[in-house]
Amino acid sequence: MSLFDRLRYRLSRSGLTFIFRLHMFTYRLTGGALLGTSGRMPVLLLTTIGRKTGRPRRWLLSYFRDGERLVLVASNFGRERHPDWYRNLQATPAVTVQIGRRKQRMIATTATPDERAPLWEQAKALDPLYRAYERTANREIPIVLLRAADM
């Protein structure tokens, strides 16, 4: 891993939520014109419905494209449990995605084992942090596929 990637890894594992909230605030304020990436990957704003509260919850996440689908990695920075956003979309798969200033309703599904294998390799090639997260997570990291709701 490069020095930059090692720094990103340490920040992601430190729990500095202030940095991530500032990133999301800046992204929302500028419509993604500033801080539209995380490392080498673009980011999107995902709105899920809280599985306990029923209220909208927003998350700034890295993604990549696979044809018409958007691909998310539920790494939770290599922690042992799935991220809250993933558990929310398991309960309610209808989500809203904002890329830049464009919003779109989408449906989330977890990739099947056959879908996951090549997408996981692609994710690790795009961002070396996923390799580190894979070692520390002690779980299979889910790959989430987002498809336009009107498809």
**Over the stretch 21-61, which tens digit does the pLDDT of each residue have?**
666 666 776 666 655 556 677 889 899 999 999 999 988 88
- Ranges under pLDDT 70 in the chain: 1-26, 29-39, 151
Range of the domain at 91: 3-148
What's the CATH number where 142 sits?
Answer: 2.30.110.10
pLDDT at site 150: 78
pLDDT at site 18: 60
If you write DSSP's letter for every residue of 111-150 in order, what string do you get? PPHHHHHHHHHHHHHH-THHHHHHHHH-SPPPEEEEEETT
The mean pLDDT value of the chain amounts to: 84
pLDDT at site 39: 62
Task: Give the 3-state secondary structure of residue 97.
Answer: strand
Q: What is the pTM of this model?
A: 0.80
Instruction: Please count the structural domains in the chain.
Output: 1
Phi-psi region of 76 (alpha: psi -120 to 50; beta: other; left: phi over 0): left
